[in-house]
Each structure stands twice: as structure tokens, then as C-alpha cells.
Structure 1
């Protein structure tokens, strides 16, 4: 993973929600919100692209490793047949090829280990970035509702400057939310979907906790 991309991941992850909300309080809340979510979405796309490349390379390396092992095994049988036929020259050629394969296998295995490490790291980055993106979207949704309530309580009739700013924030949020998720923020069933996702996250977390406790009891950790 390129260092510049790692830096961008770190910047998105380190960016606090309070800092984002402070920016929204500025004179241009729409621009601040769009920039924050645009950066998060862009980094997620880059990490996913690199994850796809690493996974493809690991698959190719696995195929090459399997081919070399199969060739090494076939050469073993050919050596035995050549020796049985008294063809030491053929046996020598086969053994030489085996030695070449044996020199390549450790390099391929080291490459596979590194690609697996990168793949795991990128999967972790993707999960963390998606979680951060959800936090940002939830915080902005909460801000939208709180401002709507405040504007309604302050001036129930007539359009005010606060209401106009709220409308801008709402419009920008819904546009970004639709671009990032393919859904409308206010579409029917979206609240139910969010609740189901939270329930799924809780189930996954409980499963991980139970699995770790079981490994601790078994003395594996």
C-alpha cells in the first residue's frame, strides 16, 4: 500500500467528528460537509482498488506456486523412470529442473505471505473507513434533525436565515448520502435498514468476543 494512501487513510480516521461539526458551523456548511465526505469516499475507493489488485496478484502467485509444486512432483517420477531405463542424462536434466524449482518456491512463498499481509491490512482499512464514513453520516443526520427542531421552535412561521442554512445542509447531505450509498436518505425503510445494520454489527461483535474467550479458555492466546 502506497505511503501517500496510508497517510490519507490516517487523516480520515484521525479526523474527529467535533472538528467536522465545527466546520459546519462556518459560513459555508455545505462545502465543509461535501469535502469531508468526498475525501472519505475517495480514500475508500482507492483502498478497495488496491485491495483488488493485491488479491489478484496473490491469486496469480498461488497458481504459480501450485504449478511449480506439481511440476516438481512430476519430475520426481520422470527421474525414477529415466534411472530405471538407464538414461542418466535424462535423469540429470530432470534433477536440474527440480533444483531450479526448489530455488523459486521460497521466493514465491515469501511473496504469498507478504501479499496475504497486505490483503489483511487493506481489508482492515476498508472496514475502519466505512465505519468512519457511517459515523460522519449519522452525525450530520443528527445535526440536520436538531437544527430542524430548533428552527421550528424558534420561528414556526416564515422562512428564516437559519431555515435557509438548514435547507442547504439537508440538500447537500441527501445528495452525498445518495452518491455514497445509492439510497435516498429519507426513503421509506431506510431507518429500518440502519437498525438492522446496527443489529448485525452487534451480532458480529458478540461472536468475536465469544470466539476470543473460547480461545483464551483453551490456552490458545
Structure 2
């Protein structure tokens, strides 16, 4: 597995969707999250491709290893037959071929072991990448839900506010119509009348406070 592909795998596995959101807060987070998932898919495809190559090479190595072992066993029987038949020259040729096979087998077994190791490593990478992709998809789903919930709440708040304002306006309008029918005054006149009434009450309160102050002053003067 190339160092470049390992680095790409490492970036995907180590990446955090929350950290990504923090970095792109002022951008388009949903689009960036979708792009990250596509990048994860691309890395998964590349790792699977390399896994396929390694698996094929391991299979070929196994076949070659089995073939060499089979040849070695067959040569052993042929060597025995040659010796029994007095054909030492043929027996020597068989032994020479066996030595060649025996020289190849350890190298082939090392290669086979390396392919097996790589295959297991790549399978682990694929499993980890798929798990990370699921995590990213779940994060994207939750993000979309939170956005949808926020939009719905905002819409409901706006609708509720509009409805309340509309109801208040309706009630005020109905009151004005009734008031005008009963008094002959318009809503504006009613407003002026109410303002005047408030001012008159304030004046009454002030006069009363002054009277109380005068009475208290008289009482204090009499006791002095």
C-alpha cells in the first residue's frame, strides 16, 4: 500500500465532522460534508482496488506454491523409480530440480506471507473507512434534521407572531367599530379622549396630594 494512499486513509479516519463544521462555519457546511463523504468514497474505492490486486497476487502465489510442492513430491517418486531402474543420471536430474524448487519455496512463502499481511491490513482499512463513512453520513443526517427543525421553529414563530398581531388588529378594529357606533367618535377621537382622561386623572391626583400636604401642614402647626 503506497504511502500516499495510507495518508489519504489516515486523513479520512482521523477527520472529525464537528471540526469540519467549526472550520466552515461561515461557508456551506452541508455541501462541504457531502464533499467529505464523496472523498471518503473515493479513498474506499482506491483501497478496494489495491485489495483486489493484493488478493489476486496472493491467490497466484498460493497456486504457485502448491504447484511447486506437488512437483517436488512427484519428483521424489520419479527419483525412486530411476534409482530402482538403474538410471542414476535421471535421478540426478530429478534431485537438481528438487533443489531448485527448495530454493524457491522459502522466498515464495515469504512473499505469500507478505501478501496475506497486506490483504488483512487493507481489509481492516476498508472496514474502518466504511465505519467512518457511516459516522459521517449520520452526522450529515443529524445536521440536516437540526437545520430543518430550526427552520420549522422559525417558521412557526413567525406564523405565531403574525397570527397574534393579526388577532390584536382584529380585536382593536372591532372595538373601534363598536365604540364609533355607540359614541359617534372615531377611533382617533377615542384615542384623544382616552389621553385627555388620563391627563385629567393625573391632575386630580396632583390636587388631592396638595390638599393632603396642606392638611398635614395645618396639623403640625396646631401641635407646635
Normalising by structure 1, report the TM-score: 0.69
Please report how far the alpha carbon of residue 26 of structure 1 lies from its aligned counterpart in structure 2 after TM superposition: 2.6
Q: Distance in 2 between matches of 1:135 and 1:32?
A: 15
Q: What's the counterpart of residue 43 of structure 2? A: 43
Q: What's the counterpart of residue 128 of structure 1? A: 128
With over 3 angstroms needed to count, the CA separation of the structure-2 counterparts of 1:147 and 1:31, relative to structure 1, is closer
Please report how far the alpha carbon of residue 34 of structure 1 lies from its aligned counterpart in structure 2 after TM superposition: 2.9
Please report how far the alpha carbon of residue 22 of structure 1 lies from its aligned counterpart in structure 2 after TM superposition: 2.4
Residues 1:89 and 2:85 are matched in the alignment: no
1:155 is paired with a residue of what secondary structure?
Answer: helix
**How many residues are matched?**
158
Q: What's the counterpart of residue 79 of structure 2? A: 79
**What is the 5 A alignment of 1:1-221?**
1-23=1-23, 25-156=25-156
**Where in structure 1 do 4 or more consecutive aligned residues deviate above 3 Å?**
none
Please report how far the alpha carbon of residue 21 of structure 1 lies from its aligned counterpart in structure 2 after TM superposition: 2.4
For structure 1, list consecutive stretches of 5 or more residues without a partner in the other structure: 159-221
Please report how far the alpha carbon of residue 24 of structure 1 lies from its aligned counterpart in structure 2 after TM superposition: 5.2
Q: Distance in 2 between matches of 1:58 and 1:157?
A: 64
Please report how far the alpha carbon of residue 30 of structure 1 lies from its aligned counterpart in structure 2 after TM superposition: 4.2
Please report how far the alpha carbon of residue 39 of structure 1 lies from its aligned counterpart in structure 2 after TM superposition: 1.2
1:25 is paired with a residue of what secondary structure?
Answer: coil
CA RMSD of aligned residues (A): 1.4
Q: What's the counterpart of residue 189 of structure 1? A: none
Normalising by structure 2, report the TM-score: 0.68
Answer whether contact 1:20 1:36 (CA < 8 A) is retained. no
User: 1:104-132: per-residue Cα shift (whole Å, max 9, x none)?
Assistant: 00011000100000000000000000000
Please report how far the alpha carbon of residue 66 of structure 1 lies from its aligned counterpart in structure 2 after TM superposition: 0.3
1:86 is paired with a residue of what secondary structure?
Answer: coil
2:74 is paired with a residue of what secondary structure?
Answer: helix
Q: What's the counterpart of residue 176 of structure 1? A: none
Answer whether contact 1:12 1:129 (CA < 8 A) is retained. yes
Q: What's the counterpart of residue 216 of structure 2? A: none
Q: What's the counterpart of residue 174 of structure 2? A: none
Please report how far the alpha carbon of residue 156 of structure 1 lies from its aligned counterpart in structure 2 after TM superposition: 2.9
Please report how far the alpha carbon of residue 23 of structure 1 lies from its aligned counterpart in structure 2 after TM superposition: 4.4
Please report how far the alpha carbon of residue 27 of structure 1 lies from its aligned counterpart in structure 2 after TM superposition: 2.4
Answer whether contact 2:8 2:43 (CA < 8 A) is retained. yes
User: 1:121-170: per-residue Cα shift (whole Å, max 9, x none)?
Assistant: 00000000000000000011001111111111112388xxxxxxxxxxxx
Please report how far the alpha carbon of residue 35 of structure 1 lies from its aligned counterpart in structure 2 after TM superposition: 2.3
For structure 2, list consecutive stretches of 5 or more residues without a partner in the other structure: 159-224
Q: Bigger radius of gyration, 1 or 2?
A: 2
Q: Distance in 2 between matches of 1:93 and 1:107?
A: 22
